[in-house]
Chain A
Amino acid sequence: MMIGETWSRRLRFFTLATLLLVCIAFRVFETHAQPQASSEQEAGEEIVAVYLGAAPLTQNIDLNRYVSLVGTKVALKSERSALTWTFGVLASGSVNAFSAPGGYILVTEGLLGMLDTEDELAAVLAHEVAHIVRQHHWKIIQKQQQASELVAKMQGNMKTSNELFADMNSLFSDMMTRGLDKNAEFEADRDAIILAANAGYDCTAIFSLLTKLDDLKGSSESSSLIFQTHPSPAQRMDALSAAVSPELDSCATASPAAARYQKYVKSVL
């Protein structure tokens, strides 16, 4: 009897201890379950989902397909041609283009309406491809993740999963609404020239693109996100002018495909 009671008590104690350990382990697991991006792809998907929440995709499938075909061709000339590249057109009249880690690029109908040639479209997409290849956004996200974890450790407590999620969302929205540092934009512009050229397009179309953006100053688009997130078109053109080389003479001409833009975009927007 005595032995039975002892074993019964031990069993109850063991059961309770096990339950307690399970609860602690679950809590620890929950706080370590990284709701922030554990991969570049996931970060990109989160960012793109936010953009898609702000503006819907175009209903014009052919238009989206055209942008995908041009953009994918440009991306194939980069170091990350093996990525699965995804291009989308947003049904928004504002002039904007976005990239997100993992190979996601969005442009607005407003931007497409501003352009006139496939060369200019290629220049826009090449700029966004360059951001992804150089991992401009992803590196910022990674640094922020590391900083958040370090701060949490120094504070001696782990943030809840909701707090970590809020941290990342805040980082994403800041990055999306304030943009990258100007050197990253200048770098993407330089890369865009070569990417577009190597895909067969006019390597100087980026200048006419930037001129058109410059034209928007004073219009209702002057406060558009694209101006908040990039250096001024004049600064960008100056930076490019300082970087171009004589070799670009060979690609400084409209491509044979330039006029296709009329058929695939201008006639439908």
Chain B
Amino acid sequence: MRALVWLICALALLSGLRVYAATVRTGVTLLTQPTQRSVAVATLAKGAQIEIMSRNGLWSEVCCADACGWLRITAISRDSGTATTKTSLAALQTGRDGAGNAVSSTGVRGLDAEAIKVDQPDYEALVALRQWQVTPGQAIKFAEEGFLEDRSLAALAQPVDESSSPHQESRMFPDPDRISTSRPTKKKRVEASDDDW
């Protein structure tokens, strides 16, 4: 059994499991499961340092110095710091967001600012591009083949602490009963608490 644990740790080290440094926006309770109805594990003070291990919908599994558990993503502020490689049995037990495959521009010059400024426009390719348009009917049919079901969610309001955007005059969504107004009402931001959500 001990050998198995060491083997798992070695594999984890080689695989380079990635976690993300972050802090807690406000005092929150760490939960055992990604649901408000689960058991509390620990209480974190505003500004507490955590590491994000994985995400499940609007919940993230995090670890602090003493415990691991689940938080709403709204309670988390990601640091600008770098992802770190860490191995732990707790990390091994959780799922992953997907480490992502870093793509490098291999050989062929990447699509960079220089290329955009220097290269000549290609109008023939623009004509060729149009032949790949699809009709709304084709798109809807493809969605149905994937068993996608439409929803009617309302637009998200601009958070209070974001400065005004000059682009709010345009309507975004077609449902007149549920779209935001041209100037979305700024909700008063309520500090998240254990009773929220």
Q: Which residue on B lies nearest to A44, using beta carbons?
A: B126
A50 at the interface (CB under 8 A from B): yes
> Cβ of B171: which chain A residues have Cβ within 8 Å of it?
79
Q: Which one, B98, B106, B140, B172, contacts A211 given CB within 8 A?
A: B98
Over the window 137-149 of chain B, the binary record of Cβ atoms lying under 8 Å from chain A Cβ atoms (1 yes, 0 no) is 0111011001111
Q: Give CA–CA (A207, B20) in the complex, Å.
A: 13
> Cβ of B30: which chain A residues have Cβ within 8 Å of it?
none
> Cβ of A147: which chain B residues have Cβ within 8 Å of it?
none
Q: Give CA–CA (A250, B126) in the complex, Å.
A: 40
Main secondary structure of the interface of A (DSSP, over half): helix
A176 at the interface (CB under 8 A from B): yes
Q: Give CA–CA (A201, B112) in the complex, Å.
A: 31
Q: Which A125-145 residues have a C-beta within 8 angstroms of B?
A: 130, 133-136, 139
Q: Give CA–CA (A88, B20) in the complex, Å.
A: 33
Q: List 21 A-B contacts (CB under 8 A).
A: A49-B121, A53-B121, A54-B111, A93-B106, A108-B111, A114-B103, A139-B167, A176-B116, A183-B162, A183-B164, A183-B166, A194-B156, A199-B148, A199-B150, A200-B148, A215-B83, A225-B113, A249-B58, A250-B151, A257-B143, A257-B148
Q: Give CA–CA (A50, B111) in the complex, Å.
A: 11
Over the window 149-178 of chain B, the binary record of Cβ atoms lying under 8 Å from chain A Cβ atoms (1 yes, 0 no) is 111111111110111111110111110000
> Cβ of A95: which chain B residues have Cβ within 8 Å of it?
103
Distance between B195 CB and nearest chain A CB, rounded to angstroms: 12
Main secondary structure of the interface of B (DSSP, over half): loop
Q: Give CA–CA (A234, B52) in the complex, Å.
A: 12
A37 at the interface (CB under 8 A from B): no
B1 at the interface (CB under 8 A from A): no
A171 at the interface (CB under 8 A from B): no
Distance between A115 CB and nearest chain B CB, rounded to angstroms: 9
B65 at the interface (CB under 8 A from A): no
Q: Which residue on B lies nearest to A247, using beta carbons?
A: B153
Q: Which residue on B lies nearest to A203, using beta carbons?
A: B153
Q: Give CA–CA (A70, B147) in the complex, Å.
A: 13
Over the window 112-149 of chain B, the binary record of Cβ atoms lying under 8 Å from chain A Cβ atoms (1 yes, 0 no) is 11011101111101101110111110111011001111
Q: Give CA–CA (A79, B123) in the complex, Å.
A: 29
A146 at the interface (CB under 8 A from B): no
Contact at A55–B158, with CB atoms within 8 Å? no
Contact at A225–B112, with CB atoms within 8 Å? yes
Contact at B98–A78, with CB atoms within 8 Å? no
A34 at the interface (CB under 8 A from B): no
Q: Give CA–CA (A258, B67) in the complex, Å.
A: 33
Q: Which B35-93 residues have a C-beta within 8 angstroms of A?
A: 55, 57-58, 73-74, 76-80, 82-83
> Cβ of B138: which chain A residues have Cβ within 8 Å of it?
69, 72
Contact at B139–A76, with CB atoms within 8 Å? yes
Contact at A92–B156, with CB atoms within 8 Å? no
A40 at the interface (CB under 8 A from B): no
Distance between A108 CB and nearest chain B CB, rounded to angstroms: 6
Contact at A218–B82, with CB atoms within 8 Å? yes
